[in-house]
Structure 1
């Protein structure tokens, strides 16, 4: 179903940061209603669901300043300018976990929070992991601990309400056919 796009009447950029921008735009919708809509503009992110040959998921117990606490999540990173999401996640998995994947499967992509952001997450399954010779090289602003869990343990962590981010839960659901092939 093709719809007429809204007409941009006024664009206001309020903040331009290194990872995202924040803007408020005035639009006239196809039904002639006018209004202001806020949006966080983000270049997108890439995420890996890494699984070791022994069947363990590699997760990160990462401190996030916005929540003032640690969250369990899969390795992920922001897509840099002129970078493909697959290149992003290959770099990030090595930096954050100290492993390299020999086999990759694209799981899909999804909007993270379309009510206020245009960020898209590109999700991949990373298999046949081999440890790198050097330890992970985290960014200076990252506080990360590596955690190994079975898919069943991670699913239980989701169900009991452990602090887990939405992109990791959504990507886990996309990966389930590969992680639980008999279900």
Structure 2
């Protein structure tokens, strides 16, 4: 236990939903005082950098109601209870884009908003792409297309790409390209 640990002394579940749960925790702080923490619990997700042989990446346009706009993102999706992240990534890539990949590389994981949520996203690189079957969820509407990494950077600058997982993925690709260049 580190010196910054907060101990939960009471937990009240405020909301249980299809995607998230919300709880309020009464916590004892490291200095002995008490405070409240609002915590969103999420089952986790996957995000996929699907890259073709020309090093173009696949994006999907999707309307995001909390933002009231359509943004471009890398394919992604929520983990089901007990689901292996790689299996989820394979499922989500095909469902959203109609693509399957022969080569998969796990690139790590990251928390999206650790100040109030426990969502952990597993990032994968999918290569050696071929056709599969699009099979969107009943309430999901997306359009997929390919762009160069350079064009993706321009989409970040224009805020057409405006979500952390996609920006993170594109920056990863830029770093990888730089490392290859430097040898």
Q: Is the contact made by 2:161 and 2:167 (CA closer than 8 Å) also made in structure 1? A: no
What per-residue deviation string (whole Å, max 9, x for no partner) do you get for residues 108-149 of structure 1? Answer: 1111011111101110111111112x3x11111111011210
Residues 1:16 and 1:142: Cα distance change in structure 2 (over 3 Å): same
Aligned with 1:182: secondary structure?
Answer: helix
Aligned with 1:90: secondary structure?
Answer: helix
Q: Is the contact made by 2:42 and 2:118 (CA closer than 8 Å) also made in structure 1? A: yes
In the alignment, structure 1 residue 182 sits paired with structure 2 residue 178: no
In the alignment, structure 1 residue 94 sits paired with structure 2 residue 105: no
Aligned length: 181
What aligned pairs does 1:64-103 form with structure 2 within 5 A after superposition? 64-103=64-103
Report the alpha carbon displacement of residue 177 of structure 1 after superposing the two structures with TM: 4.1
Extract unaligned runs of 5+ from structure 1: none
In the alignment, structure 1 residue 51 sits paired with structure 2 residue 55: no
In the alignment, structure 1 residue 28 sits paired with structure 2 residue 28: yes
Q: Is the contact made by 2:104 and 2:127 (CA closer than 8 Å) also made in structure 1? A: yes
Task: Report the RMSD for the aligned CA atoms in angstroms.
Answer: 1.7
Give the TM-score normalised by structure 1. 0.92
Give 2:158's aligned residue. 160
Report the alpha carbon displacement of residue 166 of structure 1 after superposing the two structures with TM: 0.9
Runs of 4+ in 1 over 6 A off after TM superposition: none
Extract unaligned runs of 5+ from structure 2: none
